[in-house]
Structure 1
Amino acid sequence: MVTRGQVIGGVLLAMAVLSTVVLWDVLPTVLFAITVAYVLTPLRRQFRKRGYSKRVSSVATTIVAVIGLLIALTPIVLLLVVRFNDVIAVLETLPDELTVEFAGFAYTLVLADLFDIAIGWLSSVGATVAAEIPVLLIKLALFILLVFGLLQNERNIQQAILGIVPPAYRDVAEALAERARETLFAIYVLQAATAVGTFIIALPIFLAFGYQSPVALATIAGILQFIPIVGPTVLIGILAIAHVVAGEFLSAIAIVVIGGAFISWLPDLAIRPRLAAYTADLDGSLYFIGFVGGLLTVGAIGVIVGPLVVALLAEAAKIAKQEYNPAVESIAGVSDSEDSEDDLGDRRGEEGLDEASDDKDDRQSDEDPVNKP
């Protein structure tokens, strides 16, 4: 027999599908706003714990989201618009051909065609960004309104979603939600911090080597940090090849050693471990699959959605394993579960305080001053 809750859940799912179809053109903006609001929920709760009202906390958190978005987009805009000629100049300094000799055989790799494709792609992207500035401003306004609305109505949204989940399965929903937050934190905060650190480290190194447009090269190195596994190693390899073709073998060795150690590896060794405790334990190869697959399937938003889906798949597999093999638990697994239960209890306590404050604000806003005695 179909229950009332199942019917309401079906209606909610149908409305979600209908909204996806109707809002398809702005769906990436909507998804991006949802993920950002979800990651910034703990920050909003910190504002609430310090005594700020629900509205003020939501506005302050939204401002943080907008500032973070502008900081993230600024390097890309500089490369595609302001410093575009410098990027083209760097590509034009690279050799048109690369000859590799080994065991008496010589193979010539023509790079000019690849550079022409890269320059054409960058030109088209830059022109598209410049032409769609009004549309981008509208999407920015939509992003701001969505983030504020989601933060302002966080408790109601959470209750609506959990309300359609049967009580016996709410632990699964909570586990998936926590995994989603950890993964999104890894994508936004950890990757962004690593990218900024890479830029700061790379800039003086490129200045010391005397490269043209060191700021552009350092920016490219920082952006490449968002590509898992590969990272700035591609840029270091291209610079080393350029030195080899120019006959500067010592410079090629130096950029490989110094650039590889400080630009490619140091940010991963110095920054990531400090933030890793707050992120999902997702294997690098799985993250790479999600990154590339999401990018090729749904476009730019796939950089976020792809790894998120893969992380949720890994969490679902973990839950299924525990469900079908409940007796298979290591001592470390038991201790980890105890720690996670303690952390969950702390989070629930904080959420309880926040929800109590939200309830108070809701009651105060619902009161009609005219009807007061």
Structure 2
Amino acid sequence: MDRRLAVLGGVLVTIAVLAAVILVDVLGTVFFALTVAFLLAPLRRRIRDRGVSRLMTTVIVTATAFVGVVVLIAPVGYLLFARFGDVLAFINALPESIMLEVAGFQYELVVAELIAFAEQRLRGTVTSVAAALPVLVTKFALFVLLVFSLLHNESDIRSSVIAVVPPEYRDIANALHERARNTLYALYVLQAVTALATFLIALPVFYFLGYSSPLVLATVAGVLQFIPVLGPSILIAVLVVGNLLAGDIVGALAIAFLGGGLIAWLPDLTIRPRLAKRTADINGSLYFIGFVGGLLSLGAIGVIVGPLVIDLLAETAGLVADEFEIEPETA
């Protein structure tokens, strides 16, 4: 029986690898759909337990996934298309040179080429996205179809996967399952809620401080919340430097204290602790390594794959330590 399970598991892995090779162009979409369906499976079971039909439950949860993805993508689309001119104006308003003075010596740092490069890349990104729009729509339709199919057959898929895992190793599979679900919750739900809170806080702050495009700046702050560790602090630092170079000391201090406190720190101090109990305890530095490494290696989907793999590696290391009764070093 164990040999038969091992053969079936090997066949499953082999076919999965073959499918990944064949579907390489849509592999990111497939992985994204898998993670979203995996995260929403408990919600589907909860609704199903209330007596709702299988089809209706799947439709409701798939619609939830659809709306969630649209809400996540909408701010980026808003910046790239609806307010593209304002974003370019903000970039072009940056000073072309910065005067540095150290120990009595002055040095002019010319950043005009960097600004021109940023503008060129932004234009190129918008052009590429516009050209690839039909493909993106097709991939989005594939995503919705995959999520619906995975959720509709969630019980059968779960039973099949558990069946090929030998009973003595199912505790390891369950531990990795829980860790993956909590990590995905942190990457999707926690980040999205924190980003929304950042946007809602930033909008009145930027309006009160008199910035010409508070909606654009608030949207940028919300999008930057998805960058671990740094987040909206990047935008606040740019605005502080811009005000200092323009000679507006009061404005620089205002955005440093109000923006830094309310925009960069308040969402993390208020939102994250309330939702963190349902997430995996992701180390900030490891999260950053996974985010950057995944982004550079795999592109956009890497921002999910990287932290997820790093966190599963940490969970596996913990299981190994528990198996061999390795005591953690104490201070």
| Range class of TM-score, shorter chain | over 0.9
Give CA deviations for 1:270-313 in whole Å, capped at 9, x if unaligned: 10000000000010000000000000000000000100000000
1:314 and 1:278 map into 2 onto residues whose CA distance is 18
Partner in structure 1 of residue 104 of structure 2: 104
Give CA deviations for 1:230-271 in whole Å, capped at 9, x if unaligned: 101111111111111111111111111110000000000010
Partner in structure 2 of residue 170 of structure 1: 170
Matched, 1:269 2:269: yes
TM-score (norm 2): 0.97
Which of 118-127 and 307-316 deviates more? 118-127
Matched, 1:154 2:166: no
Partner in structure 2 of residue 183 of structure 1: 183
Matched, 1:302 2:302: yes
Which of 99-108 and 307-316 deviates more? 99-108
CA contact 2:9–2:164 (8 Å) conserved in 1: yes
Give CA deviations for 1:57-102 in whole Å, capped at 9, x if unaligned: 1110000000011111111111111110000011111111111213
1:318 CA displacement: 0.4
1:257 and 1:35 map into 2 onto residues whose CA distance is 38
Partner in structure 1 of residue 21 of structure 2: 21
Amino acid at match of 2:318: K
SS of structure 2 residue aligned to 1:109: strand
1:324 CA displacement: 0.5
2:292 and 2:252 map into 1 onto residues whose CA distance is 30
SS of structure 1 residue aligned to 2:300: coil
Which of 100-109 and 20-29 deviates more? 100-109
What are the equivalent positions in structure 2 for 1:38-187 lying under 5 Å apart?
A: 38-187=38-187
Question: Bigger radius of gyration, 1 or 2?
Answer: 1
Which of 85-94 and 105-114 deviates more? 105-114
2:117 and 2:212 map into 1 onto residues whose CA distance is 22
1:165 CA displacement: 1.2
SS of structure 2 residue aligned to 1:19: helix
Give CA deviations for 1:133-191 in whole Å, capped at 9, x if unaligned: 11111111100110011111111111111111111110000000100000000000000
Give CA deviations for 1:188-227 in whole Å, capped at 9, x if unaligned: 0000001000000111111112212111111000000000
Q: Identify unmatched segments of 5+ residues in structure 1.
A: 331-373
Which of 157-166 and 280-289 deviates more? 157-166
TM-score (norm 1): 0.86
Cα separation, partners in 2 of 1:246 and 1:17, compared to 1, 3 Å: same
2:298 and 2:275 map into 1 onto residues whose CA distance is 28
Which of 198-207 and 98-107 deviates more? 98-107
CA contact 1:201–1:262 (8 Å) conserved in 2: yes
CA contact 2:2–2:166 (8 Å) conserved in 1: no
CA contact 1:33–1:143 (8 Å) conserved in 2: yes
1:2 and 1:140 map into 2 onto residues whose CA distance is 40
1:329 CA displacement: 8.9
Amino acid at match of 1:132: A
Amino acid at match of 2:199: F
Partner in structure 2 of residue 347 of structure 1: none
1:103 CA displacement: 2.0
2:97 and 2:45 map into 1 onto residues whose CA distance is 57
Q: Identify unmatched segments of 5+ residues in structure 2.
A: none
Partner in structure 1 of residue 202 of structure 2: 202
1:109 CA displacement: 2.2
1:113 and 1:271 map into 2 onto residues whose CA distance is 39
CA contact 1:194–1:267 (8 Å) conserved in 2: yes
1:37 and 1:2 map into 2 onto residues whose CA distance is 30
2:263 and 2:5 map into 1 onto residues whose CA distance is 54
1:2 CA displacement: 8.1
Partner in structure 2 of residue 339 of structure 1: none
Partner in structure 1 of residue 32 of structure 2: 32
Alignment: residue pair count: 329
1:183 and 1:40 map into 2 onto residues whose CA distance is 13
SS of structure 2 residue aligned to 1:199: helix
Give CA deviations for 1:4-61 in whole Å, capped at 9, x if unaligned: 1111111111101110010000000000000000111111112112210111111100
1:314 and 1:103 map into 2 onto residues whose CA distance is 47
1:203 and 1:161 map into 2 onto residues whose CA distance is 46
Amino acid at match of 1:322: D
Partner in structure 1 of residue 11 of structure 2: 11
CA contact 2:33–2:147 (8 Å) conserved in 1: yes
Matched, 1:259 2:259: yes
1:108 CA displacement: 2.5
Partner in structure 1 of residue 283 of structure 2: 283
Cα separation, partners in 2 of 1:59 and 1:2, compared to 1, 3 Å: closer
Cα separation, partners in 2 of 1:124 and 1:329, compared to 1, 3 Å: closer
Amino acid at match of 1:292: V
Amino acid at match of 1:209: L
CA contact 1:90–1:212 (8 Å) conserved in 2: no
CA contact 1:179–1:315 (8 Å) conserved in 2: yes
Partner in structure 1 of residue 220 of structure 2: 220
> What is the CA RMSD across the aligned residues, in angstroms?
1.5
Amino acid at match of 1:66: F
